[in-house]
Structure 1
Amino acid sequence: MSTSTEASAPAIGAIAGLPQIDDPRGVAPADARVLGRLFFEQLRVLEEGTQAYQYARNTLIEMNLSLVHFAAKRFRNRGSGEMEDIVQVGTIGLIKAIDRFELSREVEFTSFAAPYIVGEIKRFFRDSTWAVHVPRRLQELRVTLAGAREELAGRLDREASVAELAQHLRISEEEVIEGIIASNGYTAGSLDLPIGSERNSAETVTYGDIKGHDDPALELVENLQALAPLIETLDDRERGILRMRFGQEMTQAQIGERLSLSQMHVSRLLNRILAKLRKGMLAQS
């Protein structure tokens, strides 16, 4: 674990209550896990925008860049995109994971970050791979339209019309139609078709592996993140019951025995707690 204690070294780490790490990228994975907990603990109490906060956040990013490179290797020579581009978009996923991670989740950061990193890389391939030459303006329009469609679908609870997309993006309906037609130039073919030169390799990757899609694990992460502040509003006994039922997988009878309550009483308490959390989740949607 490489840290600096020299007087001439920058003092930001000390100000943040953290060790000064001169070369975060050189920190071994085992050390990064230990140091990561310290940095995440401080990141949540430091004031955003301060030098100390930036030091903690940037150090976490650099210490975990090996996760991005590990994920990026899987996608090398897979059609569109140089390795540098793949690493850049993977780093965006890493940053999102760092900003959303909570130590209270009791899960390793590497497991938490992986869906974010891989998800960003897959979206990069989805948005940048074209089967025929299409002007850059239309490539960018396609990506913009995809984002607008997703946003409006969430608002309207249905697919947006051409007119609604045009109004939302402040462009003409003709441009919207042109962008939709241009999307036909995007990669097509069998999703089982091997990609690259490693067709006979045991690690063969197909188009289906890199095509962007909604990752169930990422959706679970988002749901858990939304649920966390709601759980904080529960009292100690309610949180304890949730922990025993879903964390320790105890039966209602076992919980009742632990708390000197009847199984029926535990069942009523669980129903009330879950109803409260469900109501809070619906209010956020």
Structure 2
Amino acid sequence: MDEHRLPSRASEPVVAQASRQRGGGDSYDNIEPMLEQLAQLGAQDPGRPILREDIIGRCLPLADHIARRFAGRGENFEDLQQVARLGLLLAIDRFDPTYGAGFLAFAVPTIMGEVRRHFRDRTWAVRVPRRIKEIQQLLGPATDALTHELGRAPTAREIAAELGIDLVEVTHALVARNAYRTAPIDAPTGNENGNTSPSLLDFLGAEDPEYRHVEDFLAVRPLIAALPALERQVLHLRFFRFRSQQQIARQIGVSQMQVSRILARTLNALRESALRD
């Protein structure tokens, strides 16, 4: 794909506003001739860094303007500004004046792409699939447009229809918003009166020691089910019916010594199998 792509629909308002600013005679005037001159200078030319710094200084308001468009989405503005300015540097270094397109038409989608990648890859507290991250970035503009059109907040189905995306994916992206930021469970919460209320941790119960027995039971249950019928019966009578070895011996018609041996052999086998698994 040619990197000097036309601006997307989302970037058109930014290009239009920047173009209007150029019409007022601001720092964007004559930027293409300066970029042409930069492209003609060799990498070792002492004038190249000076000219490049001049171009960057003239175009910084564009990067800052794009950063402000993404503000209010849970990310620090200074971080967005740094990412947008990085995108500006990439646009300046990659721009080819011989292609014929204006610099703004190339720089705006380049900068916006860097900011969107920052949101997609760097600002999630919990791992979320890339596809869901990409859809999540589309939710804001689509929701704003539909809210303006409908006069109310749109439903997930209406958002899916607007974006041409499956309803399930939109639902997953809406749920994934909860993974964007996490908060410690021991952080106190405030109320409308300014008082501090207990944290979530204060409402959590203590660890139940019986959970360990549940885990042991679940681990040994399939091993018991695989035992021969006689060994399984002896275990059942001894540990579930709480019969003595003598009572078990009388019930199954063997000696008490044989019952003791069956129990010892079976318990050792179960222990070895459980530890090995």
TM-score (norm 1): 0.37
Name the TM-score, length of structure 2 as normaliser: 0.38
Q: Which has the larger radius of gyration?
A: 2
